[in-house]
Amino acid sequence: MYLHIEDLEAIKEFMMKFKDVDTVEVLADSSSGIGTTLTAKLHNVEINGERVTVSKVISDFENW
C-alpha cells in the first residue's frame, strides 16, 4: 500500500480528535475497479459513555 503525506496527516488529525485512542486500523478497498478507497477506523472509542468504533474515509475517488 502506498500512502501520500496528505493521507498520513488526515489519519493523524482524525486520531487526535479522540485522545484515548492510540492505534488505528487502516482499510484499503479497491473493489470498485477504478481506484482504492482508504478508510481509518478507531476501535473502542468512548462516546457518551458507550464504547464504539468510529471510521472516516481518508481518500476515495474525489481525491484522485
pLDDT of residue 52: 97
State yes or no: pLDDT of 22 exceeds 70. Answer: yes
pLDDT of 61 above 70: no
Cβ-based neighbours of 52, under 8 Å, separated by 6 or more: 45, 46
CA 49 to CA 56: how far, in whole Å?
21
Of 2, 40, 1, 8, give the one whose Cα is nearest residue 21.
Answer: 40
3-state secondary structure 30-45: CCCCCCCEEEEEEEEE
Secondary structure letter of residue 18 according to DSSP = S
